[in-house]
Amino acid sequence: MFEEAAETAAMIRRRAGIAPKVALVLGSGLGAVAEAVEEPLKLSYQDVPGFPRPSVAGHGGSLILGHIAGRPVAVLQGRAHYYESGRADGMNLALATLKELGCARLILTNAAGSLRADVGPGRLMLIRDHINFAGVSPLFGLAGNERFVDLVDAYDPAARAAIAEIAGRLDLPLAEGVYVWFCGPHFETPAEIHAAQVLGGDAVGMSTVPEVIVARLLGLKVSALSMITNLAAGMSAEPLSHDQTMRHATAAAADMTRLLTAYLEELADD
């Protein structure tokens, strides 16, 4: 379906000489997680066909290959967002390339606003499910019956249980909830946030959902973690801004790194 991916994967394999089983996408302010990669080979997205050209401060735009906790990984620092182009398929080729490289598992991270007053800035939230409030799909325009992707248990239940168990052992408070995707780049209105709460959301953000959809089409096992950077619109007196997102994301990146490192260390090959 994504024919160019095989050729790009072969090029990456020649350069890196490793076969990553797990891919990690880093959200805003989470660049520090990339520092956990041992013996990294860093490729600029510009040199990798089909990879996005991010335009957001805090999104580096590199593919890093190496090991975390002894496990071969591909780390994507920076992602394409729907709001940058009005297209939701900006990560399709990159994710298809990772699958071709041998990745069976995808771990997505993002910065998000909390819909729950009891889960404030700096906390981590494991995503259990999502609501697609942007109303678009990364699969628009694809042909064939595979495009009718089943999204039940899109967020791998076994991985969720393992991550929650590890967080408990590390004494790291981990909320769990439903992520609501808004298109951005503007923040939401208080009325939209109220609606998202009533509909059963726990966090809001501008990414991740299209990646989950295409990853499930590709058959990857998916996990996703939000770093809460703010209470959502109307829930606090602090004005919303990208600066605020970056400040809190950077502060909580250490917790995210600990959790992901411990999870990768314990992950059995599959």
Catalytic residues: 28, 59, 81, 83-84, 111, 206-207, 230, 242
Does 23 engage in binding with ligand HPA (CB under 6 A)? no
Please work out, in degrees rounded to the nearest 5, the angle formed at the alpha carbon of residue 248 by the alpha carbons of 244 and 251. 145
Does 225 engage in binding with ligand HPA (CB under 6 A)? no
Is the omega angle on the peptide bond into residue 121 within 30 degrees of 0, that is, cis? no
User: Nearer Cβ to ligand HPA, position 8 or 77?
Assistant: 77
The correct pick among 36, 75, 80, 111 for binding ligand HPA (CB under 6 A) is 111
Q: Give buried/exposed letters for 210-225 (b at 16+ CB in 10 A, else e).
A: bbbbbbbbbebbbbbb
The correct pick among 107, 115, 206, 224 for binding ligand HPA (CB under 6 A) is 206
Residue nearest ligand HPA by beta-carbon distance: 113
SS3 of residue 164 by DSSP = helix
User: Nearer Cβ to ligand HPA, position 30 or 74?
Assistant: 30
Does 113 engage in binding with ligand HPA (CB under 6 A)? yes
Does 229 engage in binding with ligand HPA (CB under 6 A)? yes
Q: Where are the beta strands (DSSP E) in the chain?
A: 22-26, 38-44, 62-68, 71-77, 105-114, 124-132, 174-181, 203-205, 221-231
Cross-strand bridge partners of residue 225: 109, 126
Site residues, ligand HPA (CB under 6 A): 111-113, 182, 187-188, 204-206, 229-230, 232, 240, 245
